[in-house]
Amino acid sequence: MSCDTDILIVGGGLNGPALALALADTGFDVIVIDAQPPGARGEEGFDGRAYALTLASQRLLTAIGVWDSVKDHAQPLSEVRVSDGKPGTGAGPFVVEFERGGIDEGPAGYILEDRFLSRALTDAIKAHPKVTLIGGETVVAQAVGPADVTISLASGRELSGRMVVGCDGRRSGTAARAGIRRTGHDYGQSGLVCALEHEKPHGGIAHQLFLPPGPLAILPLPGDMCSIVWTETTAEAARVHALDDAAYMEHLRPRFGDFLGEIKLAGKRFTYPLNLTLAEAYVSDRLALVGDAAHGVHPIAGQGLNAGLKDVGALAEVLTLARRRGEDFGRIDVLERYQRWRRFDVATMVAATETANTVFSNDNPLVRVGRGVGLGVINALPGLKRFLMREAAGLTGDLPRLMQGRQI
């Protein structure tokens, strides 16, 4: 039976277009459908989202031909400093410094704003001869047959493919329509996000400062600018968000400290509720989930998008190799290879993130001493630090070829 395309991708955020490019480069025909008109995301400028991309993710973006168009907007990370602190007293005595020399391959990562990445990905899929982008259309139904999948759009249009991939974010309709349940919980925390201008150069150093209500991440952007993700309890975040800009900055300054000199708000402020949402399965017949549709995590470790791009590399590799072997790539036994590859890795990341958030969002004096000693020990043991640095660069575990700098 003939289909409109090989693979239907629901969701043109970040992981959807990245997957489309990876698959199209190995010969698949792909249709990407997104509810928003093409290019709408990022049109209004900085929306508070900036990603700490690992070296592995940067390699994948290079392999799919997107890195060259964003690299001038990306800030290489020279160092990551993790410290324990109390509001008003600055960083505590135990600091872990992951410096440039920690790994041999170059910077462990880059900070890149969402607006540049989403625009580059959209432009790349629009230009690729094997990808069709349908923007401003919502997928409302899907029907799985023995050899194909048909999806229905709100406009009444129908499209068929050999399989469908849900890249439709944390509230994935693709997963829900397939009967895939989700687990997770609300952290009772929200992330206050904004960009800041500062007086002194940041030197490419990112900071993760652990304060009792939750972490404050300071991510360097090109120039004398940074983006912050400031975690507070939901009630306190709502209260702080409602303050005017001057009062907001007064609240932030003692938490931020004065190591970058005077700080000034640059643009709008945002608040995002933080929750964990995990799909109980990543695949079913002729269907796979990728990115936040499979696993929406806490931003504490900056791993949300990196984990999604690892899904992209793994699924593109599994489908391409299956097709080269003459297999029906949409069959559940093929898709289960992808699920086996990714589920354990994601479970490990979620466990580490949950532990970090519990241990560090806590002002119990004993817990404070324990974590201070832990940070001190990491700093004193170069072997352990080197492992953690490689982990932070995304270079450990079973890496997809696109993340090793190879083609599939």
* Interacting residues with ligand FAD (CB under 6 A): 10-16, 33-36, 49-51, 138-139, 167-169, 173, 229, 272, 291-293, 299, 302, 304-305, 308
Instruction: Supply the minimum distance, in Å, between the C-beta of residue 330 and ligand FAD.
Output: 20
Which residue, judged by CB position, is nearest to ligand FAD in the bound state? Answer: 13
Cα gap 75→69, rounded to integer Å:
14
User: Based on CB atoms, which residue is closest to ligand FAD, 323 or 392?
Assistant: 392
Amino acid at 181: R
User: Based on CB atoms, which residue is closest to ligand FAD, 33 or 225?
Assistant: 33
Instruction: Supply the minimum distance, in Å, between the C-beta of residue 302 and ligand FAD.
Output: 5
Instruction: Supply the minimum distance, in Å, between the C-beta of residue 11 and ligand FAD.
Output: 3
User: Based on CB atoms, which residue is closest to ligand FAD, 35 or 281?
Assistant: 35
User: Based on CB atoms, which residue is closest to ligand FAD, 25 or 34?
Assistant: 34
The DSSP bridge pattern shows strands 30-34 and 5-10 to be parallel
User: Based on CB atoms, which residue is closest to ligand FAD, 121 or 323?
Assistant: 121
Instruction: Supply the minimum distance, in Å, between the C-beta of residue 296 and ligand FAD.
Output: 7
In sequence order, what are the beta bridge partners of 219?
Answer: 227
User: Based on CB atoms, which residue is closest to ligand FAD, 139 or 368?
Assistant: 139
227 in Cβ contact with 207 (< 8 Å): no
123: its two tokens:
């432009």
- Closest to 134 (Cα-Cα) out of 1, 291, 289, 20: 20
Instruction: Supply the minimum distance, in Å, between the C-beta of residue 139 and ligand FAD.
Output: 4
34 in Cβ contact with 20 (< 8 Å): no
Instruction: Supply the minimum distance, in Å, between the C-beta of residue 219 and ligand FAD.
Output: 8
Cα gap 219→227, rounded to integer Å:
5
Cα gap 360→403, rounded to integer Å:
31
Amino acid at 253: R
